[in-house]
Chain A
Amino acid sequence: MSNGHHEIDDSIDLAPGDEHVEDGIAQRIVGYLTGLGLAILLTATSFFVAGTNLVWEPSIPVALVVLAIAQMGVHLVFFLHITTGPDNTNNVLALAFGVLIVILLMGGSLWIMDNLNHNMVPMDQIMQMQR
């Protein structure tokens, strides 16, 4: 496993963002081109779905979220070179923890605020009560 960096030679781990380079420059460029192509495809689909009448309307938000998550996956794999290999265990675990916190933070905020919206007396009624 040589990465053009001598420091790395005797280690079994890979720094986040690094990829194996035995494949050579051409193959690495093909990797980035693949990622770029997939990302363009997913982005174009997102913008198309958001502006079209061809899709059942209530499904659009879900479709957009799924497309965004798919594109994040494409970026992680092809641009940041996060893999499931044993040399990436630490990087993946840190990422998984980050994702857990993000889900708790966003899901929790939306859940709590939605609950409050449902259970609180509307603003105009509060104004009347104060009179």
Chain B
Amino acid sequence: MSTIALTEAHHGSASSRVWSGPAPKRIVTGYGFWIFILSDIIMFAAFFATYAVLLGQTAGGPSGRDLFDLRGVAIETGFLLASSFTCGLASIAADSRSAIWFQLAMAVTCALGLAFLSIEGNEFASLVARGAGPTRSAFLSAFFTLVGCHGLHVSAGILWLLTMMAQVFTKGFRPDIQRRILCFALFWHALDIIWIAVFTIVYLLGSAV
């Protein structure tokens, strides 16, 4: 990549920009992680397509209208949205190298994420208890795969969050730690974006059918 750019600079390309060396590591890392997030979103798109196709295939079992508790979903949405906000505050604290505010904002993010997961766990448990587990119908298989996959991502995000708190505590705001915080923030905000699609397509549109 750098050689191409160098030859371009030698020939005096149309761009008026002077070649200033390879991109900083923060941009390379962030951009690479951005590509990963987009590929993750494409994987979710496949699950969403599956869910949309199988929405009516309830095999005589309960449909979304019978099962979904929209009040619980609204509370879940509120928790995840608030955690996205506090994650943003943690990013600001990391940029200004304030360890106390960073740890505080991350702790709140973690608590909100755990609250989200506990509501989701309760919902799954109550569905299974009512005989509406993933084996009941194609609709429910698609539902548990999609929402469960998002829940797994949130769980992994919380483990990552705790790791970042520990790393900032022991190593401080080194440039490599800052890059990991950048990637974590991208991941967490992306999970919230996917949740918008989940509550719209799965719950709101799914309970209209």
Q: Do A and B bind each other?
A: yes
B31 and A91 contact, CB distance less than 8 A: yes
- A21–B94 CA distance with the chains assembled, in angstroms: 12
- A29–B182 CA distance with the chains assembled, in angstroms: 17
A72 and B193 contact, CB distance less than 8 A: yes
**Cβ of B13 under 8 Å from chain A:** no
Q: Residue of B at shortest CB range from A98?
A: B38
| Residues of the B chain whose Cβ atoms lie less than 8 Å from the Cβ of A120 | none
Q: Which of B48-106 contact A (CB under 8 A)?
A: 48-50, 52-53, 70, 74, 77-78, 81-82, 84-85, 88-89, 91-92, 95-97
Interface band, chain A: 35 or more
- A33–B85 CA distance with the chains assembled, in angstroms: 8
A25 and B96 contact, CB distance less than 8 A: yes
Q: Residue of B at shortest CB range from A47?
A: B74
B185 and A17 contact, CB distance less than 8 A: yes
Interface band, chain B: 35 or more
A64 and B52 contact, CB distance less than 8 A: no
B175 and A101 contact, CB distance less than 8 A: no
- A60–B208 CA distance with the chains assembled, in angstroms: 9
Q: Residue of A at shortest CB range from B186?
A: A17
A36 and B85 contact, CB distance less than 8 A: yes
- A114–B30 CA distance with the chains assembled, in angstroms: 39
Known contacts A3-B95, A61-B205, A68-B197: A11-B27 contact under CB 8 Å: yes
B81 and A105 contact, CB distance less than 8 A: no
Known contacts A79-B189, A109-B53: A7-B25 contact under CB 8 Å: yes
B208 and A90 contact, CB distance less than 8 A: no
| Residues of the A chain whose Cβ atoms lie less than 8 Å from the Cβ of B27 | 8, 11, 13-15
Binding site for B on A (CB under 8 A): 3-8, 10-18, 21, 25, 28-29, 32-33, 35-36, 39-40, 43, 46-47, 50-51, 60-61, 64-65, 67-68, 71-72, 75-76, 79-80, 90-91, 94-95, 97-98, 101-102, 105-106, 109-110, 113
**Known contacts A11-B27, A61-B208, A90-B31; 16 further A-B pairs (Cβ under 8 A):** A5-B24, A5-B95, A6-B175, A7-B24, A13-B23, A14-B27, A16-B30, A18-B26, A33-B85, A36-B84, A46-B199, A46-B200, A68-B201, A80-B189, A94-B34, A105-B45
Q: List 15 A-B contacts (CB under 8 A).
A: A4-B96, A7-B25, A7-B175, A10-B24, A11-B20, A15-B27, A25-B92, A33-B85, A43-B199, A46-B200, A50-B70, A68-B197, A72-B193, A98-B39, A106-B48
